[in-house]
Structure formats: C-alpha cells, structure tokens
C-alpha cells in the first residue's frame, strides 16, 4: 500500500506515456468494425467519462458507410460526435471518406479547440488517417500486403 501511495506521489515517467489505442477493420464480407480503448486513468479527473466508450464520439461503425476510431481532446470529440459525424457526412452529405475525415479533423475539431486524429476505413476498403496534432502513431495494411506505419506527417 505504501509503495502504491509513493508511486502516485512521484512525477510521471515521460518514457511510459499511455494513450488511446484503436483499430478499424473491413473483413472479406464487407463487414466493418471499430474499437477504441482509453489510455487509462493517468492524469484524468475522477468521474470523467471520455469519448472512447461513447459510440459516435470516439468510436463508430456502420456497414453502410465507415468504421472510425478517434484519439485526442475527448471533450471536443464528444461535443462534435466526431466519429458519427464522419458517417453522416458520407451518408447524407455525399462526401468521400477522405473529405469527411478532413472536414471533421481539420475544421470542426479545431474550431472548438480540439486536437487529435482518427483512423477510418469505409465499406470499399479505403483508409483515412488524418490528424491535426504534431503526430499520431498509426499503421495500416491490406491482406497480403506489407503493413505501413507512420508517426509524423509524410
């Protein structure tokens, strides 16, 4: 118990940063899936619920359009329903995956002071990975191909 208290009182080890992790996928039948997991309780307010567990905010999937997993300023992703907004822009606005993601990440989130990014795959297998932060760890690939990774802008 004393060790736990001491560990909580110590400054955070910057080499052990934790953050949100997510995945999106399209299977051979065209089914879409998305998953998002928060980085945990480190530096979080007690009782706070972030965007990760809120369908439509930090995570969303619909076979008709897109699967999305988000990371960033959770409160802004909640206010904008960022993940669902991409699906709505595609379904009702006729935007492509790239255009819908770009509008949400580069326009709507910053307008409310939000930063972050997302990963998304549409029903045709197109992938988008936009972010408005300095960097975002990400990887993507297709069956039979070598996966690609990235951190900063290419």
C-alpha to C-alpha distances, 76 to 7, 23, 110, 112, nearest whole angstrom: 31, 20, 9, 7
38 belongs to the catalytic site:
no
Q: Is 79 annotated among the ligand-binding residues?
A: no
Choosing from 20, 36, 38, 80, which is the catalytic residue? 20
The DSSP H or E segment spanning 150 is: strand 148-150
Q: Is 72 annotated among the ligand-binding residues?
A: yes
Q: Is 42 annotated among the ligand-binding residues?
A: no
Q: Is 15 annotated among the ligand-binding residues?
A: no
Q: CA-to-CA distance for 135 and 114, rounded, in angstroms?
A: 14
C-alpha to C-alpha distances, 63 to 24, 27, 29, 94, nearest whole angstrom: 12, 11, 10, 16
Q: Is 50 annotated among the ligand-binding residues?
A: yes
Q: Is 27 annotated among the ligand-binding residues?
A: no
Residues contributing to the annotated binding site: 48-51, 71-74
Residues contributing to the annotated binding site for substrate: 48-51, 71-74
Catalytic positions are 20
């Amino acid at each position: 118990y004393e060790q736990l208290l001491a560990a909580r009182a110590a400054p955070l080890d910057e080499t052990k940063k934790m953050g949100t992790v997510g995945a999106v996928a399209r299977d051979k039948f065209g089914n879409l899936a998305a998953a998002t997991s928060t980085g945990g309780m480190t530096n979080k307010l007690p009782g706070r619920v972030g965007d990760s567990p809120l369908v439509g905010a930090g995570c969303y999937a619909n076979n008709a359009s897109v699967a999305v997993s988000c990371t960033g300023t959770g409160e802004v992703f909640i206010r904008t329903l960022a993940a669902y907004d991409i699906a709505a822009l595609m379904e009702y606005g006729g935007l492509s995956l790239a255009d819908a993601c770009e509008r949400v990440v580069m326009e709507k989130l910053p307008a409310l002071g939000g930063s972050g990014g997302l990963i998304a795959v549409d029903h045709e297998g197109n992938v988008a990975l936009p972010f408005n932060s300095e960097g975002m760890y990400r990887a993507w690939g297709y069956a039979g191909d070598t996966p690609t990774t990235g951190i900063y802008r290419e």
